[in-house]
Structure 1
Amino acid sequence: MGAAARLITERGAASVTVEDIGEAAGIAGPSVYSHFEGKQELLAAVLDRGNEWLWTETTRVFTHARSGQEALDGLVCSYLVLAVEHGMASVLIGDLGQFAEQDRERFRQAQADYLREWSALLYSGRSQQEETAARVRVNMAVMAINHAVRVPRLRRLPELEETLFRIARAALGTTAAA
């Protein structure tokens, strides 16, 4: 699944074959079928694993955070690890068109639920306008990360995670970007 995630991040799901995935994993392409019925099932497994990782990290962050700001910073950091170090953001957001409608809806709902946790840290519950602003800010932060990690020249920047952390915090309105 790691090889599939890396290739899909680099080239997009439509451009990656089961044979490519097998080769990247050090096995014959057809051997992938011993583990998955096809590319769609493999991609679904990658998405499920990414979502599970995000929720595990969310629980860890909320357990250890001493403030809402610390929790939000922790969520940004954990998302950056998944996006930059593991190359999963593109898989989580970019290739839902590869799935049947039922699976697409399941993954969209998982993403919405996850991002709602971020929004809850920004939203104090006073008005619909404030809730909408929090959701927009969260989506801006995540979209900035997702876009940057999909651009090969940006992925090679030595301080990418630190830069994206500052950009995400600025988008969230919690601090100005330096």
Structure 2
Amino acid sequence: MPRATATRSDAGTGGTRSSVKGGRRTEQIARAAARLFQDLGYQNVSIDQIGAAVGLTGPAVYRHFKGKHDILVQALMSQVRLVDELAARADEGVTAQEQLDLFLAGLGDLTANGDEATLWRREQRHLEPAERDEFLADFATNRDRIAAKVMAAQPKVDERTAELLGFAVLAMYSNTPDIRGTLPSDRLIDIQSAVAAAIIGSKLPDHGPEAVTAPHTVHRRPAGRRERILEASAGLFDARGFYDVRIDDIAKASEMSVATLYQHVSGKTEVLRAILERGAEGLLYVTADALATADNPHQALDALIRTYIRQALGVHGRIMHILATDLLYLPDDEQAALRETQREYVAEWVDAICALDGDLSAADARALAQSAIGVITDVSQESRLRERPGIAEDLAILARAMVLPTGLVPQ
């Protein structure tokens, strides 16, 4: 979660035209836009839609903002201020453990009762570089805030371990929209609270110099032209997002002309669909292979965890990131087909979790599975963490703790 800074606070409101009365309307527009951005994706939302959500025409919105980018910045700044307020209230706790509990309880309430509170995770790519750097710095500040309180409450936890634990907790709360499913807010809060406690209570090994690091992925140049297009596009979409990549960018990265590219694909949307289908179907394939040798639920869960970690840290890990950020930009029917493939995959996790804890409902197990999947995905995208010696084993320990948290009371 981001934390406010004076520098960006001053700069981020530069495009806002406000008065006392207009300031309230500005916040109303920003909140409505945040919900739309969360549900539909930033690039799928128009100024007219934002205006309609608050009873204004599109042109009337321009009385308060210069454009959609400024609305996004304002929406994210609102979230920053909320997290800042949470941190200030949490610091009123007497002990480090109490401060940590208060902060996490506040995050749980904020994300469970407003999914747009996690908007920054997906839409930060639409910020200007300096703005994005500020928000990433805010995330790091809050990660470090959690880490410091963990070390204060648990003196045996070292700084390196606490950094990973803090990142994992924030990543879990940032994945709330995927975790929620059909759960009511109260149950969601219970589950995420138990998962956060499980993360913080995980005992990670002290990796020595012999610990294995994640393999360094080399994105080779495929021999076939269509494969070259998909490989180049995956790299561009991962780095810049689907909407910010043009066909001529793909052609250049694929080392071919635009005319030649169109001989193999009909357009950018077809490329995105092919990449995501390959990732989703490929994950089902390798998972089925791993589960074929699992004799019991413990082995099945271990196979699911290790297979997903291997995929996330491997050459296809970026596809999981693209799936989380750009699926919304496919046509509705294609989104539905890919989401069904995702459900088929998560169902394997649900089956294994329920077999090991018969008191959990399928909805509970699904939320726990999504928590672990989200944290693994986010850690794998953070270069400082993925390059750590022993990161695969650390993620496996965290994932097991997250999907079978001891503090979760059955309903």
Give the structure-2-normalised TM-score: 0.39
Give the AA of the match of 2:288.
T
User: 2:265 matched to which residue of 1?
Assistant: 36
User: 1:89 matched to which residue of 2?
Assistant: 320
Deviations 1:33-59 (A, max 9, x none): 221111110110111111221121121
1:76 and 1:165 in contact (8 A); partners too: yes
User: 2:246 matched to which residue of 1?
Assistant: 17
| Bigger shift: residues 93-102 or 28-37 | 28-37
Structure 2: segments with no counterpart, 5+ residues = 1-229, 407-411
Q: In structure 2, do the counterparts of structure 1 residues 108 and 157 end up closer, same or farther at CA, with 3 Å as the change threshold? A: same
| Bigger shift: residues 155-164 or 135-144 | 155-164
The answer to whether residue 295 in structure 2 is matched with residue 66 in structure 1 is: yes
Larger radius of gyration, structure 1 or 2?
2
User: 2:233 matched to which residue of 1?
Assistant: 4
Greater relative contact order structure (CA < 8 Å, 6+ sep):
1
Secondary structure of residue in 2 paired with 1:64: coil
Deviations 1:6-46 (A, max 9, x none): 32222222222233333333333553322111111011011
| Bigger shift: residues 90-99 or 12-21 | 12-21
1:137 and 1:172 in contact (8 A); partners too: yes
1:6 and 1:88 in contact (8 A); partners too: no
Q: In structure 2, do the counterparts of structure 1 residues 27 and 84 end up closer, same or farther at CA, with 3 Å as the change threshold? A: farther
Which whole-Å CA distance do the structure 2 matches of 1:156 and 1:8 have between them? 22
- Equivalent of residue 346 in structure 2, options 115, 118, 122: 115
Give the structure-1-normalised TM-score: 0.83
User: 1:101 matched to which residue of 2?
Assistant: 332
1:134-153 paired onto structure 2 within 5 Å: 134-153=365-384
User: 1:26 matched to which residue of 2?
Assistant: 255
Secondary structure of residue in 1 paired with 2:377: helix
Secondary structure of residue in 2 paired with 1:88: helix
Give the AA of the match of 2:247.
V
Number of residue-to-residue matches in the alignment? 174
1 or 2, which has the higher helix percentage? Answer: 1
